[in-house]
């Protein structure tokens, strides 16, 4: 039974989260009403957490379809995840399957439409991806920013350097850990992955997952690479968004090396001739992932739940969302999940 009114968390700014009663929407033509079951915290939420938001946030959504509008084909009761970007399906990008680059994007759920920290979210059916009923909702969130964003970043780098033999990951937060995990699963457990951070907790977790950690609070990147016996870096992925980290990664790249920027934030200073032309290095951006990548990642999640599950370190009920963010901001976490 869907209630007419439910309690939704709203970010008021300065870390204040207020639960307010809101009318539960009804699914119209082409729409699904999803009862949210779990939503992973993300650094992208911190803007709303600090400055406030007019909508209920949360963009790593898993849940169950409880109402289906006219013209939909998804049965009520279907579990699944929600793709962040409401892509049009008709533009040049969408016709190529590049739904993360939709030219007529209609919404970003959790940013300008109500998202997954609330009890219900109303979505267009095209962004819903069904999952197996035996996969826990908290673990299913990994299909999104962890596996999706991480795997897509690696694919971007492989476009330029398909024979890459080593990887540097800047930042051992959830996205960085996802990149590490996807690299190990894609390239093999022996594939060398160096990963940097300032937080010992995250570096210890990265090491448990097979990464070679460098604490850049106590060591330079060059010294850390030498310590691990890594002479060349073919592929670097920056999940920090920090200029100094990007510059250090670029300096560490071998000839034909690729730097993929995933973390939003600051810039990058470079000199074209030595940094790019003479060495034939490349710098790419990587934004989220494409809807059509979800199917392969679901197969991978089925096979590797134990390994990937290490990334989730904390779970909080939505009623304790403020405490969840406090834990996340303190830094000593992997992925933090808010569960309904």
The residue out of 285, 311, 327 marking a domain boundary is: 285
What tokens does 27 get? 């699914």
Query: Which residues of the chain carry a pLDDT beneath 50?
Result: none
Domain CATH number, residue 244: 3.40.50.720
Domain CATH number, residue 51: 3.90.180.10
The pLDDT score that the predictor gives to residue 193 is 98
Please indicate, yes or no, whether residues 141 and 162 belong to a single structural domain of this protein: no
What tokens does 111 get? 């940013």
Integer angstrom CA distances of residue 86 from 115, 142, 233: 12, 19, 36
pLDDT tens digits for range 209-243: 999 999 999 999 999 999 999 999 999 999 999 99
Please indicate, yes or no, whether residues 29 and 140 belong to a single structural domain of this protein: yes
Please indicate, yes or no, whether residues 36 and 128 belong to a single structural domain of this protein: yes
Q: For the whole model, what pTM was predicted?
A: 0.96
Please indicate, yes or no, whether residues 185 and 252 belong to a single structural domain of this protein: yes
- Token look-up 């009520």 returns 76
pLDDT tens digits for range 105-115: 999 999 999 99
What tokens does 331 get? 């830094």
The pLDDT score that the predictor gives to residue 221 is 96
User: Minimal CA–CA distance to 321: which of 129, 119, 139, 122?
Assistant: 119
User: Minimal CA–CA distance to 108: which of 139, 80, 144?
Assistant: 144
Give φ, ψ of 168 to 5 degrees: -115, 130
List the domain range (segments joined by +) for residue 226.
Answer: 149-285
Based on the structure, what is the number of domains in the chain? Answer: 2
Please indicate, yes or no, whether residues 87 and 115 belong to a single structural domain of this protein: yes
């Amino acid at each position: 039974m869907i209630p007419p009114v439910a309690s939704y968390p709203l970010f008021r700014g300065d870390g204040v989260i207020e639960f307010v009663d809101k009318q539960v929407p009804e699914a119209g033509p082409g729409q699904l009403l999803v009862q949210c079951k779990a939503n992973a915290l993300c650094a992208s939420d911190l803007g709303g957490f600090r400055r406030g938001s007019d909508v209920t946030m949360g963009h790593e959504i898993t849940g169950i379809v409880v109402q289906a509008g006219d013209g939909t084909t998804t049965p009520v009761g279907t579990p699944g995840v929600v793709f962040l970007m409401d892509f049009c399906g008709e533009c040049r990008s969408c016709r190529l399957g590049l739904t993360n680059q939709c030219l007529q994007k209609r919404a970003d759920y959790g940013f300008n439409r109500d998202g997954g920290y609330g009890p219900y979210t109303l979505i267009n059916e095209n962004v819903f991806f069904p999952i197996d009923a035996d996969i826990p909702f908290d673990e299913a969130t990994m299909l999104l920013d962890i596996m999706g964003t991480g795997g897509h970043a690696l694919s971007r780098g492989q476009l330029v350097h398909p024979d890459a033999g080593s990887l540097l990951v800047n930042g051992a937060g959830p996205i960085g850990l996802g990149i590490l995990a996807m690299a190990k699963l894609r390239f093999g457990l022996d594939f060398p992955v160096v990963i940097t951070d300032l937080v010992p907790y995250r570096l210890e977790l990265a090491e448990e997952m097979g990464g070679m950690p460098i604490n850049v609070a106590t060591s330079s990147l060059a010294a850390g690479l030498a310590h691990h016996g890594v002479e060349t870096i073919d592929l670097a992925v920056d999940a920090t968004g920090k200029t100094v980290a990007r510059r250090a990664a670029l300096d560490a790249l071998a000839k034909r090396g690729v730097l993929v920027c995933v973390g939003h934030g600051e810039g990058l200073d470079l000199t074209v001739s030595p940094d790019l032309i003479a060495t034939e290095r490349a710098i790419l951006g990587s934004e989220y992932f494409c809807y059509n990548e979800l199917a392969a990642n679901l197969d991978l999640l089925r096979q590797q739940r134990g390994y990937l599950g290490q990334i989730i370190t904390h779970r909080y009920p939505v009623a304790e969302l403020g405490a969840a963010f406090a834990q996340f901001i303190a830094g000593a976490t992997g992925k933090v999940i808010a569960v309904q």
